[in-house]
Amino acid sequence: MNQTIEIPSPDALPAVAGQVRAALQGHSIICFEGEMGAGKTTFIKALCRSLGVQEEVSSPTFSLVNEYRTARNEPIYHFDFYRLNTPQEAEDIGALEYFDSGYLCLIEWPSRIEALLPPDRLLITFSVTGPSSRELIIEN
């Protein structure tokens, strides 16, 4: 079942992150799609804050994966596959082991590694609806 959430401005991100956190139940693989600049990383920062992450959350554009810790000291893995040319590059950094870990994996640009993704995943698609407004659609 799809759920659409309007984000009228960046000020709404903490509240929206709380709503999305509820949708994460039972999922460890969360895929984020949307054009460049749609707000994927900005939203992931808000989501991580809502999960109790204290350290700086930033895009792993060059490192491909960043690890954060929740308030319960559980890892969250944040991937950015924008710069990949082939799914093999994701395999080379051990992406499948991360995906199989059972811990939360937040994946930007998942379409670049579609063949590696497990079928059980949550897809969150961002659309730009105005200068500072966005819409996100959660698909189970």
pLDDT computed for residue 140 by the predictor: 81
Residue 52 has pLDDT above 80, yes or no: yes
- Average pLDDT on 5-34 reads 94
State pTM to two decimals.
0.94
Domain ranges of the chain: 3-139
Q: Regarding the domain delimited by 3-139, which CATH topology (the fold level of the hierarchy) does it fall under?
A: Rossmann fold (3.40.50)
- Mean pLDDT along residues 25-49: 95
Residue 118: is its pLDDT beyond 80? yes
CA distance 51 to 22: 11
Sort strands 3-7 and 75-80 into parallel, antiparallel or unpaired.
unpaired
Range from 57-61, 100-104, 125-129 carrying the lowest mean pLDDT: 57-61
pLDDT on residue 38: 93
Does residue 1 carry a pLDDT above 90?
A: no
C-alpha torsion sign, points 66, 76, 53, 34: positive
DSSP label at residue 67: E
Whether the pLDDT of residue 63 is over 90: the answer is no
As a residue count, the chain comes to 140
In this prediction, residues 75-96 reach a mean pLDDT of 95
Query: Rounded to an integer, what distance in angstroms lies between the CA atom of residue 123 and that of residue 136?
Result: 10
Q: Average model confidence (pLDDT) for the chain? A: 94
